[in-house]
């Protein structure tokens, strides 16, 4: 499974990349808004592309297909690794189809049902982003959606990649891997949590203490 980081914060991306497990980055308008005061969003996106050699999702704001395509073409000029995030809706599907014809990769976002994912794939999306955490927040089991999409894509040999998004905790990442999702896009805080286990900490502490007793 590929690991993306879900942030527009350059320090977090740099740190996660230094661990050597980062395959890509996803941003959205909310995440870019958190970086207010640190440069215009185009500069931030370009810097992200310089830090990580993999897909970097940047989202459009227009709500009509032509407007989405225009924004997408501008964003795609920033770097070869930019993937255009398009919200799931009728206009979004039209835009995905047009961008696919132009050879521009898309990530259809705000997916909350299996059929939305199938529609996005049929339109030509390179990636779909089902949001597990927001479903959990609404008392639905987010991971059931991932299982359903994975089954449908397998049934029809669909090569659109599933990005498990809205990840809130390490268990989401484990479950995504068990299902066989292609990618999990993970907030920095959760990436840090993934490295930790209390027994590992106790084990390291004990080894270091015992090492003091070794004849040197």
Q: Which residues are catalytic?
A: 85
> Could you list the residues that contact ligand G3P (CB under 6 A)?
6, 26, 28, 131, 133-134, 165-166, 185
What's the min distance (Å) between Cβ of 216 and ligand G3P?
50
Question: Residue 167 or 216: which CB sits closer to ligand G3P?
Answer: 167
What's the min distance (Å) between Cβ of 6 and ligand G3P?
4
Question: Residue 51 or 156: which CB sits closer to ligand G3P?
Answer: 51
The C-alpha atoms of residue 149 and residue 2 are separated, in whole angstroms, by: 17
What's the min distance (Å) between Cβ of 91 and ligand G3P?
19
Question: Residue 6 or 71: which CB sits closer to ligand G3P?
Answer: 6
Question: Residue 6 or 23: which CB sits closer to ligand G3P?
Answer: 6
Residue-level length of the chain: 216
Residue 131: both structure tokens together: 């949001």
- The DSSP string of 108-123 is EEEE-SHHHHHHHHHH
Q: What angle do CA 26, 45, 55 make, to 5 degrees?
A: 45
Q: How many CA atoms lie within 13 A of 137 on its CB side?
A: 9
What's the min distance (Å) between Cβ of 179 and ligand G3P?
17
The C-alpha atoms of residue 68 and residue 90 are separated, in whole angstroms, by: 12
The C-alpha atoms of residue 74 and residue 80 are separated, in whole angstroms, by: 12
């Amino acid at each position: 499974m590929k690991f993306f980081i879900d942030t527009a914060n350059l320090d977090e991306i740099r740190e996660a990349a230094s661990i050597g497990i980062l395959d890509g980055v996803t941003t959205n308008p909310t995440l870019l808004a958190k970086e207010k005061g640190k440069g215009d969003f185009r500069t931030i996106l370009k810097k992200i592309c310089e830090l990580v050699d993999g897909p970097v999702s940047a989202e459009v704001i227009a709500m009509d297909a032509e407007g989405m395509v225009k924004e997408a073409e501008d964003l795609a000029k920033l770097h070869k690794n930019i993937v255009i995030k398009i919200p799931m809706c009728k206009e979004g599907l039209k835009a995905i189809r047009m961008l696919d014809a132009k050879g521009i990769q898309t990530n259809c976002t705000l997916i909350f049902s299996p059929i939305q994912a199938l529609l996005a794939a049929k339109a030509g999306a390179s990636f779909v982003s089902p949001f597990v955490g927001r479903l959990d927040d609404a008392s639905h089991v987010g991971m059931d959606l991932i299982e359903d999409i994975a089954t449908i894509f397998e049934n029809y040999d669909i090569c659109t990649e599933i990005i498990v998004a809205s990840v809130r905790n390490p268990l989401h990442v484990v479950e995504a891997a068990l299902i066989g999702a292609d990618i999990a896009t993970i907030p920095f805080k959760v990436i840090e949590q993934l490295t930790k286990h209390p027994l590992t900490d106790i084990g390291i502490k004990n080894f270091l203490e015992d090492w003091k007793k070794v004849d040197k």
